[in-house]
A and B are shown apart, each in its own frame.
Chain A
Amino acid sequence: MAPPFVHLSVRSVYSLREGAIRLDELVARTRALGMHAVALTDRDSLAGAVRFTQACNAYGIRPIYGVRLTTCAESGSERFVVTLLARDARGYENLCRLISAAHHSGERSNPCATLADVATHSDGVIVLLGPESDLGRLIDKKQQEAARVALRRWLEIFGFRRTVVEVRTWLEEGDRGRVQRALQLADDVGVRAVATNGARALTQADGFLCDVLDAMRKLVPLADHHRDNRNHEATLKSPEEMDTLFGWRPQLLVESYRIAEECTFSLGLGVIQVPRYPMPEGLPQRSLNELLAKRCHDGLDRRGMVGSQKARRLLDAELQMCARLGFAGYFLTVADIVQRIKAHGIRSACRGSAAGSLICYLMNISEVDPVEHNLVFERFMNPYRTTELPDIDLDVESARREEVYTDILNHFQTARPEGATEGPPSGGRRSPREYAEGVRVACVAMVDTYRARGAIREVGKALGFPEGEVADVAKSFPHINASGIREAMEHLPELKRSALHRRQLDMLFGVAERLGGFPRHLALHPSGILIAPDDLLTRTPMERSANGFRMSQFDKDDVEALGLLKLDVIGIRMLSSMTHATAEVKRVTGEVIDLDQIPRDDPKTFDLMRSSRTLGCFQIESPGQRELLGKLQPEKWKDLIVDISLFRPGPVQSDMIGPYLTRRGAWARAVYAHPVMREFLRETFGVIVYHEQVMRAISAVTGVDLGKADEVRRSLGDKDEMPEIRRWFFEMGRRNQWRDAEIEPVWHEVSSFAAFGFCKAHAAAFSVPTYQSAWLKANHPAAFYAGILTHEPGMYPRRALLDDARHEGIPIMPLDVNASHSRYSIEQHPETTAVRIGLMHIEGISDTEITSILEARARAPFTGLADFCRRTRVSRPVVENLIHAGGLDEFGGRRDMLLFVNELWDKKEPKPEVMQQELRVREPVTSFGLRGYSEAEKVRAEVEVTGMDVSRHIVSFYGDVLRALGVTRADHLRRQRQNARVMIAGVKVASQTPAVRSGQRIIFVTLDDGTALSDATIFESVQEHCAWTVFHSWLLVVRGTLRKTGAGRGGVSINCERAWNLAELAKLHRDGTLDVETLWTEGVDEIEAAEAERRRTRGKRAPAPAPVHAERAIPMPARAPAAPHPSAAPRKLWHASGGSAGA
């Protein structure tokens, strides 16, 4: 029988690029091998601690928390690694502090703690001195005396009880000698000794992962001398295998068991930690509820609700619930944060179910009146969900988001603990006592794991394959997790053409795939902020993010499991856009607009929505949404809430919208499953749309409270639970005096539609900025466009926004160095207000250059090209860009000026003698007789320099070839019949390759031809012909068959058959060699034959593609423009998302 053994040295995948053991596998295998406990000792990290705990709880294994800490004697001296284990809560806390100390010293990704740090934080900690420690190194070099000295130093810090010499053999050359020497020293000095296996891989079959990780970490190709291990023995060995290694001295194994027994700390999960709120004027803690109540009642007054019985009753109920759950401190804290944000003049909006809370409304956290909209607070604050804090999400202006973070992070720092002594900070490094300070707020991490492309690239490099080949292979994969590589491979015909041969590809994919799910990087979560009741450092280790924010190593899920409050502060570009718009209005007209006070029933706004002219507006600008608005015809705010709730794949596909519309249009009478439902279903004409309605229905029939009703609602989505829920529903209904015949129709409604309902509070919250943006577009359109052009909040590129402005009759004033501001601005003219193009998007321009232009102009307007060059700090390429795009048209012909630039500049440096002398250079610029830019050239220049076709829609130049081809205008597509073969054309506005469950790659592309947007879908069968063109062209012609996306819904999509580059076709047309007939007939025979075959074998038509509009998530435009490529579009002018393979 092997002695009991516990692995005390284990590196999981959270030892980034070092450990290859997944946490659940670690714990599962520990149990399978008959061990009862295991330690997690990642490098400078406890990031895996929460998941480790959860896995251990699931398998009944005792977790031991530790860390492999990078340490040095003092700053700058040689580094080594020791393993520290936490015996108790204090020990765990000290591990957190030590890890934080290590990460706050020196450079960001190179953590290192000092011996002084360790000495300060040694309570409750056991140290294992293994082969990588200073001790171990000296023993390796056979310097026994020096090793003895080092050992004594550790004993001074940890004492005999907590200092342990760690021996290990990986069956490498020299291991035996090292073990002997280490034990000799330990025995001599009388120090405990234990055996570990330094596990990095689960089993030998995983050993290769460590080899690859080492090469990746060191950025070198795999070679024997680059690895940390010479073999694959660093695994989670069984007690029997450990006995084979150390059976000659069994105490070494027993010691591991003893140490495990000493480590009794367990991370408490599932208990909510409400932040403490500092009471004003030193009132005691229990008055928090009273303080909250008082502030809410003040809010009633402020909101003019004092007279409302309903409001008072609701408030009492909520306050009671809040007191019961102990959340007062939470609301008070969040209200404070919102107040601080507003005090900085930053726009914010509440998001999510919190809008259903009257407390939130009265504390000014949200701007939605839950009484008016009949909302239910139990959806947000549910007494049955005691393990999670209700989430409050705050949207803030994206441009000022970091300001908000910094403010919150600084504000919640507590004072120094008593007894801390003053002293000079140690040269840029934080002293131990500095992170002993209370830190109550921090950002949260986000674990970046290996995706297919990244894994293939890095593994390819490690395997030493040619970089170009590997890059090509990587690019063909969509943006999926690395674990999906094998499946995706089947659908990528391009791979056949790779220069890497089969065996190489097999190895590349076989290895890369195994990296799926491995963390590669701990990034800063862009919106999560942790707020703890007390010192966070007792619970979580901290790192520093790239931009210097204090960041917990735990991610959102970990933090939630720990019961800590997480506030999501999300940067929303639309909020910045709206602020810019109102600022422009104020600047130009003096009018001050308070968007939170605008009338909520403005007829112009609803008119805009009804006519679907909502491009650029928040939430309602997508083609699908505009179509839905056209059907829904909103007249009041509540219609907007319905719209937002219905626009999701569920309701669209199951066609909830139809019945809603017919009943609303009074073409059918509202039908209620039971009269009692009328009260809360009347607002939606008997159709269940909202979660709140489902909750009320359940409550009405079964008699349970709304909190319980919400719990039931949530489980309605689970098919397996349905029978049980149904049984319960009927049982409770009967007890509540309902007859089965009455219960049945209600059950039918509830069970069919619960899954498709949407949280009304959520929709109501969203409706606020949605309405505000639409109001701005309807009432201050020029300012609105200035805002969205500046901040680009939505799915459409700037040129599409500009085109919309043109359609709306807003004049666009071109680039002009004497009139343009940095951002897009408005100009008041007698009859109208215009938008002026800003300088910010000029290719290559810097902030300094913009400032110099504005400052010089403020002194006096520019009088000529030379004057401009002389008085500003603008570089030559940017001057040329400005000329090219027409910013100096006032001063002469563009070609003339471009030539003239030579006189002013000597290569890149301005000629001083020219710049000094006022009169030497003739102004205005002499004409060299060069012809001016044609319209087409002007537009091309605009696109190159600013990314927008400002003066004319670029497709309008292609009218001739489009007519010759017989292309259908986008706004005429609806008139075509189903399955008609058509051609569409336009500028590519967006392309997407979302990951599809079957692994098939489907490409969606949207085109803009100046009349409307059109959508095309490219299935696998034709991608060979189309994909490359679609990805690499900017102006496209697409031929395909027209699909109406569902009976009567009016949406249209083209099933692509072929695609061509419009510019190339135009050239052929000009040359007279365009063969229109071939373009129409190419490939048609095969396609029709394939279709006939499919019909024959399936007996029906291949299923129509799912409605494109509703399924697509609102995509995010690519921000950084790619470098201009001669054959492609001038800049990255379309947006690509969801895995645009090849783009």
Chain B
Amino acid sequence: MSKRYEEPIDVEATDGSVEAFSWRGKRYRIRTVLGRWREAGGWWRADDDADRPWLSGNAHEIVRIDAIPITSGRGSGTYEIARDLRTGNWTLLRVLD
């Protein structure tokens, strides 16, 4: 079961390893990195406003993490966050149960 969001987030990282992120005003601490991979595609949908979208390929690095919201008392969850390799911006892709 998962829900797709695609919302922008802020990520704190040191030396390439991600430590925490902020989504919808809430901060989450990353406990484990469950997987890391790259995707490139969707450039053909032309909703990318890059100059020639096919050249950057809309490439993203995707990290699947186990993270826990810092302030609220809730337990950890599995999240997928994605970094746009062209702009460097992070997005929250999905929340998995």
Q: Which residues of A contact B (CB under 8 A)?
A: 170-176, 204-205, 207-208, 211, 222, 224, 227, 230-233, 462-464, 503-504, 506-507, 510-511
Contact = CB atoms under 8 A, between A and B. Distances in A.
A506 B48 CA distance: 14
Interface string B56-93: 11010010000000000000000000000000000000
19 contacts: A171-B38, A172-B37, A172-B38, A173-B37, A173-B62, A174-B37, A204-B59, A207-B40, A211-B43, A222-B44, A224-B42, A230-B37, A230-B38, A231-B41, A231-B59, A232-B59, A233-B40, A510-B52, A511-B54
Contacts of A503: 46
Contact of A510 (B36, B39, B54, B62): B54
- Tell which of B37, B46, B52 has the most Cβ of chain A within 10 Å: B37
Top 10 closest pairs, chain A to chain B, by CB: A208-B54, A231-B40, A231-B38, A171-B38, A232-B40, A173-B37, A222-B44, A232-B57, A207-B57, A231-B39
B53 interface: yes
Nearest to A205: B55
B35 interface: yes
Contacts of B46: 503-504, 507
B41 A227 contact: yes
A122 B75 CA distance: 58
Contacts of B35: 173, 176
A211 B44 contact: yes
Nearest to B44: A222
A171 B37 contact: yes
A205 B38 CA distance: 15
Contact of A507 (B37, B42, B53, B57): B53
- Tell which of B38, B43, B46, B55 has the most Cβ of chain A within 10 Å: B38
B44 A464 contact: yes
B17 to A, nearest CB: 15
Contacts of B43: 208, 211
A186 B55 CA distance: 38
A224 B59 CA distance: 13
A581 to B, nearest CB: 58
A205 B62 CA distance: 19
B43 to A, nearest CB: 6
Nearest to A211: B41
A386 to B, nearest CB: 47
A374 B86 CA distance: 71
A237 B35 CA distance: 22
B39 A507 contact: no
Contacts of B55: 205, 208
A543 B24 CA distance: 61
B41 A230 contact: yes
B64 to A, nearest CB: 8
Contacts of A205: 55-57
A808 to B, nearest CB: 61
Contacts of B38: 170-172, 230-231, 233
A45 to B, nearest CB: 27
B44 A175 contact: no
Given A173-B37, A207-B57, 14 more contacts: A173-B35, A174-B37, A204-B57, A205-B57, A207-B59, A208-B54, A208-B57, A227-B41, A231-B37, A231-B41, A231-B59, A507-B52, A507-B54, A510-B52
Nearest to B52: A510
- Tell which of A170, A232, A463, A503 has the most Cβ of chain B within 10 Å: A232
A723 B11 CA distance: 68
A231 B53 CA distance: 14
A963 B64 CA distance: 83
B59 A463 contact: no
Nearest to A503: B46
Given A211-B44, A463-B44, A503-B46, A175 B37 contact: yes
A221 to B, nearest CB: 8
A509 to B, nearest CB: 11
Contacts of B36: 171
Nearest to B61: A171
B44 A230 contact: no
Contacts of A464: 44
A171 B55 CA distance: 19
Nearest to A507: B46
A382 B53 CA distance: 55
Interface in B19-52: 35-44, 46, 52
Nearest to A232: B40
A507 B44 contact: yes
A230 B60 CA distance: 11
Nearest to B41: A224
A458 to B, nearest CB: 14
Nearest to A209: B54
A465 to B, nearest CB: 10
Contacts of B44: 211, 222, 462-464, 507
A212 to B, nearest CB: 8
Contacts of B52: 506-507, 510
A230 B53 contact: no
Contacts of A207: 40, 57, 59
Contacts of B39: 230-231
Contacts of B56: 205
A173 B62 CA distance: 9
Contacts of B41: 211, 224, 227, 230-231
Contacts of B54: 208, 507, 510-511
A230 B35 CA distance: 15
A655 to B, nearest CB: 49
Nearest to B55: A205
A510 B52 CA distance: 8
Contacts of A231: 37-41, 57, 59
Nearest to A208: B54
A823 to B, nearest CB: 53
A873 B61 CA distance: 70
A231 B35 CA distance: 16
Contacts of A510: 52, 54
Contacts of A511: 54
A170 B52 CA distance: 24
A833 to B, nearest CB: 66
A464 B45 CA distance: 9
B6 to A, nearest CB: 15
- Tell which of A170, A172, A174, A230 has the most Cβ of chain B within 10 Å: A230
A511 B46 CA distance: 13
Contacts of A463: 44
